[in-house]
């Protein structure tokens, strides 16, 4: 049976966990009816998007099951040697079953390709598929299972699957890009991360603007900061920082709006936390200590005076909303906006591949990695493909599957 199968129903794609392929190409609901009405030119134009959609959707089904494949391999590989020693005949039989399945898959491939061209792409005439069908040997998957049975001992599933999937294993190096060409390229991963940051920025700008409007309706639109105190802090900050880093504070001194206050507080908070991060790794210089004190005092002074009415009393409901949005901003915007690697990529100073490599490690991976699993799936896919191979067999560079799963 081929590793590509056309299934004509409304079900979603699911990886096939039996002895046949982990892939299925599924026609969209009622796809045959509209395709019969298409001209050849229209079908040709739609062919590439349809193929891309099917591969991407099918690949997602495979990717979701990667943890299962890898975990299965961890138990299969260690038990393989014992099985070969204690049940050699049964293990050899499972290997032969995998060979017969490989033969069967290759025999069915021309018919499956033709069916796909007829029923999904509408590019191959139906009579061509019918002619190929007449000369295609019967799918004998059931006969193979009846003759050899299912794998029973640890390692046998890897033996059988490894032989059955020899074509896939030989191209395992390209497996990750083939599985998801529409999503898991370095370029698209980088773009998705940049887009995620921009969406978060837009979302939080809207939240802040809505809050400013609400405050304005309540008669609160200015922040009664102590100009003298803030200028004292600014004079210290100016000694060690570039103008762009403290411009927001100067803007606040000129216009004491809530919007300007939020930007100044945010910049002072970033300045303070950057120094605190450094202090965990090494001692701060006397200049850095002074800078930390000035930025901390400036941040606190601005925050303490926001949402005060004319009598000097803080509007607590507005302040609570502001605190909630600000905490969300620190969690969901700062990791993108103040990440130098992302900014370098946006400025075309860093390649997509380099960005992916850098973001998959360190602070960004720790804070936002769960929201960008595509950063890590390339290696997961590679491991899963290799896990489908012959257990313990030598791979490129002399490494074995155990090396890829457990580390060399």
**Overall average pLDDT of the 342-365 stretch:** 90
Mean pLDDT of 384-393: 42
Tokens representing residue 158 in the block: 């890897």
3-state secondary structure labels for all residues of 2-23: CCCCEECCCCCCCCCCCCCCCC
What confidence score (pLDDT) does residue 135 get? 79
- Tens digit of pLDDT for each residue in 236-264? 999 999 998 999 999 999 999 999 999 99
Residues 6 or more apart whose Cβ sits within 8 Å of residue 140: 100, 104
Tokens for 268, please give them. Answer: 């002072």
Task: Say yes or no to pLDDT of 394 above 80.
Answer: no
Is 70 exceeded by the pLDDT of residue 107?
Answer: yes
Contacts of 81 (CB under 8 A, 6+ apart): 155, 392
Measured CA to CA, the distance from residue 153 to residue 41 in angstroms comes to 53
What gap in Å lies between CA 400 and CA 387, rounded to an integer?
10
pLDDT of residue 380: 54
Q: What is the pLDDT of residue 141?
A: 81
pLDDT digits (tens, 9 = 90+) for 210-245: 999 999 998 888 899 999 999 999 999 999 999 989
pLDDT at 375 over 60: yes
- Residue 16: what pLDDT? 39
More confident residue, 230 or 116: 230
What DSSP character marks residue 1? Answer: -
Note the pTM of the prediction, 2 decimals.
0.49
For residues 322-334, b (16+ Cβ closer than 10 Å) or e, as one string?
beebbeebeebbb
**Ranges 92-96, 289-293, 324-328: which has the least confidence:** 92-96
pLDDT of residue 374: 77
d(CA 279, CA 263): 25
Nearest-CA neighbor of 73 among 407, 406, 408? 406
Instruction: State the pLDDT at residue 85.
Output: 83
Res 185: pLDDT: 78
Reply yes or no on whether the pLDDT at 76 is more than 70: no
Percent of the chain with pLDDT over 90: 28
pLDDT tens sequence across 262-315: 999 989 998 998 899 889 888 989 999 999 999 999 999 999 999 988 888 999
The larger pLDDT score, comparing residue 280 to residue 71, is at 280
């Amino acid at each position: 049976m081929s590793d590509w199968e056309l299934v004509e129903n409304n079900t979603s794609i699911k990886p096939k966990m039996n002895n046949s392929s982990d892939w299925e190409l599924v026609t969209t609901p009622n796809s045959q009816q509209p395709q019969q009405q298409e001209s050849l030119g229209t079908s040709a134009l739609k062919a590439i998007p349809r193929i891309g959609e099917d591969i991407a959707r099918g690949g997602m089904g495979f990717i979701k099951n990667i943890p299962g494949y890898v975990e299965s391999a961890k138990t299969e590989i260690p038990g393989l040697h014992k099985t070969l020693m204690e049940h050699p005949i049964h293990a050899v039989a499972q290997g032969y079953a995998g060979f017969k399945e490989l033969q069967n898959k290759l025999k069915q491939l021309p018919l499956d390709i033709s069916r796909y061209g007829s029923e999904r792409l509408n590019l191959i005439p139906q009579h061509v598929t019918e002619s190929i069908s007449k000369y295609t040997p019967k799918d004998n998957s059931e006969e193979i299972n009846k003759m050899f049975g299912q794998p029973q001992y640890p390692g046998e599933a890897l033996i059988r699957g490894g032989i059955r999937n020899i074509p896939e294993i030989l191209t395992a190096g390209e497996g990750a890009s083939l599985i998801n060409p529409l999503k898991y390229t370095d370029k698209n991963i980088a773009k998705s991360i940049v887009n995620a940051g921009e969406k978060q920025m837009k979302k939080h700008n809207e939240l802040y603007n809505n809050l400013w409007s609400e405050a304005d309706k309540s008669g609160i639109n200015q922040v009664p900061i102590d100009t003298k105190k803030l200028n004292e802090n600014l004079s210290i900050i100016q000694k060690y920082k570039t103008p762009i880093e403290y411009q927001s504070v100067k803007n606040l001194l000129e216009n004491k709006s809530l919007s300007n206050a939020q930007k100044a507080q945010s910049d002072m908070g970033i300045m303070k936390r950057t120094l605190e991060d450094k202090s965990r790794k090494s001692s701060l210089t006397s200049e850095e200590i002074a800078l930390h004190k000035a930025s901390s005092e400036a941040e606190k002074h601005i925050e303490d005076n926001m949402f005060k009415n004319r009598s000097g009393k803080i509007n607590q409901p507005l302040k609570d909303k502001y605190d909630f949005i600000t905490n969300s901003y620190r969690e969901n915007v700062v990791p993108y906006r103040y990440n130098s690697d992302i900014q370098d990529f946006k400025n075309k100073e860093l390649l997509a591949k380099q960005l992916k490599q850098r973001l998959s490690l360190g602070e960004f991976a720790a804070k936002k990695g769960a929201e960008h699993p595509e950063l890590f799936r390339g290696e997961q896919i590679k491991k899963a493909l290799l896990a489908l191979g012959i257990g313990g067999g030598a791979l490129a560079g002399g490494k074995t599957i155990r090396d890829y799963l457990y580390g060399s």
